Amino acid sequence: MSEAEARPTNFIRQIIDEDLATGKHTTVHTRFPPEPNGYLHIGHAKSICLNFGIAQDYQGQCNLRFDDTNPVKEDIEYVESIKNDVQWLGFHWSGKVCYSSDYFDQLHSYAVELITKGLAYVDELSAEEIREYRGSLKAPGKNSPYPRSQRRREPGAV
């Protein structure tokens, strides 16, 4: 039995196998994008094993990219802890560690483009209003106050 045949399969691996077989993609490149605002939990470990494991199994690459777009809640202690946890789980990231803040201007530009094309909108609800619409364990939430036809916003609102 070959290594590929012995490898466990699931819908993600089936999609990857098909994309590689048809030439849609020639390499596998994944990423693990934690927010450095706390220590990792078991769900993060699952994501690490999935993303780094798939890259490893397909001789691909996996980037460690910190989603550091909320500096009020982030700390270098968590960055270092996350790096240590990834290595403790037996994985190594490809190339340098990346940070979303390094390309924040580009992300903002993409957001403006999506809004301009009507593919995204700015939600102007207050925190209290968001809580009301979200609902709770005892009460259902409410439908969005933004009908689809009115969700288009001008880029200046961003």
pLDDT at 8 over 70: no
**Residue 142 main-chain phi, psi, to 5 deg:** -115, 160
Tens digit of each residue's pLDDT (9 = 90 or more) over 37-86: 999 999 999 999 999 999 999 999 999 999 998 889 999 999 999 999 99
Could you give the maximum distance between any two Cα atoms of the chain, in Å?
A: 59
Sequence ranges of the domains in the chain: 3-102
Distance CA 55, CA 92 (A): 10
**Residue 20 to residues 14, 16, 27, 58, 93, Cα–Cα distance (Å):** 10, 6, 7, 10, 22
pLDDT for 52 equals: 98
Please choose, from the candidates 112, 118, 109, the residue with its C-alpha nearest in 3D space to the C-alpha of residue 146: 118
Distance CA 128, CA 112 (A): 26
Instruction: Of 1-5, 23-27, 75-79, 118-122, give the lowest mean pLDDT range.
Output: 1-5
Distance CA 133, CA 23 (A): 44
Distance CA 79, CA 104 (A): 18
Instruction: Give the residue-averaged pLDDT of 104-127.
Output: 90
Query: For the packed helices 11-22 and 42-57, what is the interaxial angle rounded to 10 degrees?
Result: 30
Helix (H, G, I), strand (E, B) or coil at 100: helix
Residue 112's pLDDT band (boundaries 50, 70, 90)?
very high
Instruction: Give the residue-averaged pLDDT of 121-145.
Output: 86
pTM score, two decimals? 0.73
The CATH homologous superfamily to which domain 3-102 belongs is: HUPs (3.40.50.620)
Instruction: Give the residue-averaged pLDDT of 112-121.
Output: 89
Q: Tokens 């999609």 map to which residue? A: 15
pLDDT for 120 equals: 85
